[in-house]
Amino acid sequence: MLLIDCPWCGPRDEIEFRYGGQAGVAYPEDPAALTDEQWAEYLYVRDNPKGWFHERWFHAAGCRTWFTVRRHTVTHEIKPGGPDGAPEPGRGRDAPDRRRRFPRGLA
C-alpha cells in the first residue's frame, strides 16, 4: 500500500488516488505534422524505468488535484517534484502553502 503525499491534502492512502502514468508527456504541438512513427511514439510508448520515475497521480477521492511525484519503481519510495524540478500543481504562486494536515485518525 502506498502512502502518497498529496500537495493539498497531505499523506493519504493509495486507495484515494488514481494513477496517471508517466509525467510530462505533452500533446504534440502540430499532430498533423508527425510521421506515423512519431505519432505511435506519442500514443503508445512511455518510459518504463527500473528506478526513479516521474509520474502523475490524481486525488480522486479528495481534492481532485492532478500532481507529479517521483517514485522508485523497485523500493516504491516517493518524493515530491515534477520533471526538471518544476513546481507541483497546487504549490504555484496562486496556491501558497495551503496544505491541510488532518489530525491522526481523521485523515
Partner 1 sequence: MNESPHPDFLWRNPEPRRAYDVVIVGGGGHGLATAYYLAKNHGITDVAVLEKGWLAGGNMARNTTIIRSNYLWDESAGIYEHALKLWEGLAEELDYDLLFSQRGVLNLAHSPADVREGMRRVNANLLNGIDAEWLDADEVKKFCPIVNTSPDVRHPVLGATLQRRAGIAKHDRVAWAYARAADRLGVDLIQGCEVTGFDIAGGRVRGVRTNLGRIGAHRVALAAAGHSSVLAARAGIRLPLQSHPLQALVSELLEPVLDCVVMSGAVHVYVSQAHKGELVMGAGIDAYNSYGQRGSFHIIERQMSAALELFPIFARARVLRTWAGIVDVSPDASPIIGLTPVENLFVNAGWGTGGFKATPGSGWVYADTIANGRPHPLAEPFGLDRFTTGALIDEHGAAAVAH
Given the rule CB under 8 A, which residues bind partner 1?
Answer: 1-2, 14-15, 18-19, 21, 36-37, 40-41, 43-46, 48-50, 53, 55, 71, 73-76
Choose between 27 and 44: whose C-beta lies nearer to partner 1. Answer: 44
Choose between 33 and 74: whose C-beta lies nearer to partner 1. Answer: 74
CA angle centred on 8, ends 7 and 10, rounded to 5°: 70
Shortest reach from residue 50's CB to partner 1, in Å: 5
Cβ(15)–Cβ(106) below 8 Å: no
Choose between 36 and 94: whose C-beta lies nearer to partner 1. Answer: 36
Cβ(22)–Cβ(54) below 8 Å: yes
Phi then psi for 36, rounded to 5 degrees? Answer: -60, -40
Q: Which amino acid is at 42?
A: Y
Shortest reach from residue 57's CB to partner 1, in Å: 9
DSSP structural state of residue 28: P
DSSP β-bridge partners for residue 72:
52
Shortest reach from residue 13's CB to partner 1, in Å: 8
Shortest reach from residue 87's CB to partner 1, in Å: 23
